[in-house]
Amino acid sequence: MKNVSSIILAAGKGSRFGSELPKICHTVGGLPMLFHIIKSCADSAIEDIVLVISTKLSDVSSKIPLSCTNEANIKTAVQPVPLGTGNAVLYGFKQCSKASEWIVVLYADTPLIRAKTIQSMLQATDSKTGVVVLAMKPDEDSGYAKLIAGPDETLFAIVEEKDAASYNLRDGHRFLSLCNAGMLIRREIAEQFLDKLPSSPITQETYITNIVELARETGRTCHYVVGNAEELRGINTRADLAAVEKSFQERMRRAAMDGGVGLIAPRTVYFSYDTAIEPDVIIHPFVTFGPGTVVRSRSEIKSFCVIENAEIKSGAIVGPFARIRPNSVIQENAHIGNFVEIKKSTIGVGAKINHLSYIGDASVGDEVNIGAGTITCNYDGFKKRQTIIGDKASIGANSSLVAPVNIGAGAILGAGSVITEDVPDDALALERAPQVTLKGKAKKIRAKRTI
């Protein structure tokens, strides 16, 4: 939407988190909470997005994943001194596109907000509208500001909770059991009043909520739309973060199952914000997906696997107790078994690595069989080196492949070998010290130790 800008308030201290990391950088589903709300704005077709940040947070626009931006123009505005939400919106407004007729104000610590919820504010406008507030019903002890409705049920004002007890309601006016979770402001209202918001005599802060009364005094009407409380929940503490993570995971699990994914024990499976799983995948209990993971149809992920930034192709079986690390591809019908770790490697079609192996910085061909205990020795102390294993090669158990090394197609490596040189196609390679057998020696040792 070219006529809409979004200002995301992200300059809060987050002091209750007890962390040196800014609150908005803590993650939900593997993605900083700030980036969640950027993605929701971009998904709602808002092309102009301004982040209001503090001086302690460096420019974050260059760190936002492309999957979150949807080609939106992301800008930043620094609020040098934390003087309230009104002051923060004023700094953000200066960066908004001049072509925007509406300004959406959102909070960076409400990461579960959906694009359709943002759009609901725009759908509530008409030619007389000055402000639309996105409202939610909070917990009773929330501490949020309270909405006041007029006799005609339009929005009359928003009052901070500490001031609500002394506020004199006019005839026909009433407090609503709702609080502010976002706001849509007509541009001319923002231009007229953002620098005229009243300051608190105690803190000298200005609050964006006061713009409702100012807009109404110009003859503009103000409205509210009610959103889902779970979706609009703000994060102020680590307990809040855990609650929002729980809600996010439930959302992802429902979406996966609605899309045809089989979750045997849904509550034990954890997703990242961008996990993509195709229909007819079976996921066993206690599986964790890190960012950047794609799982193709008809594959199966068994229990206690961790998969991050990897692609599991159709018909593959992974686990149990497998770890698939970034930049790995498990090709069709491959088997990755228990206690196998794959890192930055491609495992070929129908290949089998069934137990107790580490494969790193490798290209494993089709129908390769890798025995238990095999490792690719990919690090020489200075650089990572590559191992290449050709199609249909057979790697004996407990083999060490010292990279860089190339194992030819159809080659066989004897169990327990340490391979330091290339092996040609269809060759047999063995590397073992001669076995020494001393007859009767074991009996003598036992006898000596019992004396």
pLDDT of residue 277: 98
* Residues 309-335 pLDDT 10s: 999 999 999 999 999 999 999 999 999
pLDDT of residue 14: 74
Task: Verify that 151 and 8 share a domain, yes or no.
Answer: yes
Task: Verify that 57 and 117 share a domain, yes or no.
Answer: yes
Residue 290 CA to residue 300 CA, distance in Å, equals 17
* Tokens found for residue 157: 């004002």
Pick the closest to residue 156 from 136, 137, 172, 139 (CA basis): 172
The verdict on residue 117 lying in a domain is yes
Task: Verify that 150 and 56 share a domain, yes or no.
Answer: yes
Q: Report the C-alpha dihedral over residues 166, 167, 172, 178, rounded to 10 degrees.
A: -100
Q: In terms of residue numbers, what domain contains 140? A: 4-226
Q: What is the CATH number of the domain that holds 12?
A: 3.90.550.10
Task: Verify that 216 and 302 share a domain, yes or no.
Answer: no
The domain boundary residue, chosen from 166, 200, 226: 226
Sheet holding 4-10, edge to edge: 73-78, 48-53, 4-10, 102-107, 179-186, 129-136, 221-226
List average pLDDT for each run of 10 residues in the chain, which is 451 residues long: 91 81 92 95 95 83 83 91 94 95 96 96 94 89 78 88 74 89 96 93 89 95 94 93 97 98 98 97 98 98 98 98 98 98 98 98 98 96 96 98 98 97 97 92 89 62
pLDDT of residue 366: 98
Task: Verify that 115 and 219 share a domain, yes or no.
Answer: yes
Task: Verify that 82 and 185 share a domain, yes or no.
Answer: yes
Residue 190 CA to residue 84 CA, distance in Å, equals 16
Q: Which member of 223, 284, 335, 355 is catalytic?
A: 355
Task: Verify that 206 and 275 share a domain, yes or no.
Answer: no
* Residues 249-306 pLDDT 10s: 999 999 999 999 999 999 999 999 999 999 999 999 999 999 999 999 999 999 999 9
* Tokens found for residue 427: 């060759």
Q: Give the three-state DSSP class for 133.
A: strand
The verdict on residue 238 lying in a domain is no
Task: Verify that 177 and 220 share a domain, yes or no.
Answer: yes
Task: Verify that 163 and 36 share a domain, yes or no.
Answer: yes
- Would you say 311 and 292 are in contact if contact means Cβ atoms under 8 Å apart? no
Q: What is the CATH number of the domain that holds 311?
A: 2.160.10.10
The verdict on residue 434 lying in a domain is no
The verdict on residue 318 lying in a domain is yes
Instruction: Measure CA 96 to chain center.
Output: 27
pLDDT of residue 327: 98
Pick the closest to residue 196 from 104, 90, 105, 92 (CA basis): 90
223 a catalytic residue: no
Task: Verify that 214 and 314 share a domain, yes or no.
Answer: no
User: Strand ranges (DSSP E) for 258-370?
Assistant: 262-263, 269-270, 276-277, 282-283, 287-289, 294-295, 300-301, 306-307, 310-312, 317-318, 323-324, 328-330, 335-343, 346-347, 352-360, 362-364, 369-370
* Tokens found for residue 437: 């057998």
Query: Domain tally for the chain?
Result: 2
The verdict on residue 22 lying in a domain is yes
Task: Verify that 318 and 394 share a domain, yes or no.
Answer: yes
The verdict on residue 450 lying in a domain is no
φ, ψ for residue 358 (rounded to 5)?
Answer: -125, 120
The verdict on residue 326 lying in a domain is yes
Task: Verify that 29 and 82 share a domain, yes or no.
Answer: yes
Residue whose token pair is 């009043």: 193
The pTM of the full predicted model, rounded to 2 decimals, is 0.91
The verdict on residue 239 lying in a domain is no
